[in-house]
Amino acid sequence: MARSRPTVVLAMAPALTKDLFADAHHARLAALADVPDPAPLARFDDARADALLPRAEILLTGWGSPRIDPALLDRASALRAVVHAAGTVKGHVDPACFARGLRVSSAAAANAVPVAEFTLAAILLAGKRAFRLQRRYRELRSFRLWSQEVPAIGNHRKVVGIVGASRIGRLVLAHLRGFDFERLVYDPFLPAADAAALGAERVELDALLRRADIVSLHAPSLPETRHLLDARRLALLRDGAVLVNTARGALVDGDALTAELASGRIDAVIDTTEPEILPADSPLYELPNVFLTPHIAGAMGTETQRMATLALDEIERLTKGEPLQHEVRLEDWDRIA
């Protein structure tokens, strides 16, 4: 859609995206496109949407965007592209968009950066048993031979297993190159040569779980990956292993994981759960071998502006008739998060 100044309409929930655009982003968007209303649409069923949608050639979406389905496409007859300034598009982009010839882009690559950073920090701190020992030190408030308080403390020559060679999984593997870890990776779509190029040994999932000191999940949440780690597979983890989940709670059987953690046999760093907010009486809030965070690994605050920059880069490519660098394609739909 090579046109110098396309019309861009924003669609997202302002309460969820208040940090997304800095003043410089607004100025750049105004220079790239006609923006008839800088205030984003939070819904598509009001008078403002009725006025804006027929003019929209690009929908710039973010968290909380209303769904773009066939009925919406009938109202937005000029629409040519959806550029999403966040991660997955599955929550608001109907596959009918591809049938209508729309281009779809996602800023998942930008969102992957803080998740990978968080994961690296979690792996390093987990190897030092920092989460468990922080609680223990707070209880004791005295000296101990800390290496005797917890098993196998330290990161030297530890085995880290990455489940899923996704954008985030690959970034984590890249970060881990700077440390003295043995790296394993499981991904059914990853050739062994590609794993080697990532600095990792490709193994089957059960073997990874048996060998790894720290297991980090980076697979998409799909019907095929639901409870990928069930009771049988969790039992394969060696005593003292650490499970890190910054992906999706549905990848793990929550009841089976809670039972393993309650036994004290393994530790966990958990940023995502199923349900998203655990019941107030969940043992995971109190167990000393669990470091539980409220889904904060992904882009937050100023980090979201990285996604805005990527989205505006994609809009600029559209205006110049250049290929999108972060295009979402229908043929990948069933495998992506």
Which one is catalytic: 48, 136, 265, 295? 295
Question: Edge-to-edge strands of the sheet including 8-11?
Answer: 8-11, 58-61, 81-84, 103-106
Choosing from 276, 322, 329, 335, the catalytic residue is 276
**Residue 295 a catalytic site member:** yes
**Under a CB-based contact definition with an 8 Å cutoff, are residues 146 and 153 in contact?**
yes
The whole-angstrom separation of Cα 312 and Cα 320 is 12
**Residue indicated by tokens 């489940």:** 163
C-alpha span between 45 and 84 (Å, rounded):
20
Q: Which of 28, 129, 170, 248 is catalytic?
A: 248
**Catalytic: 326?**
no
Q: How far is 67 from 253, CA to CA, in rounded Å?
A: 30
User: Concatenated DSSP letters for 28-46?
Assistant: HHHHHSB-S-SSPBS-SSS
The full length of the chain comes to 337
Instruction: Determine whether 260 is an active site residue.
Output: no
Exposed/middle/buried for residue 329 (C-beta within 10 Å: 0-12, 13-18, 19+): exposed
Residues with a catalytic annotation lie at 248, 276, 295
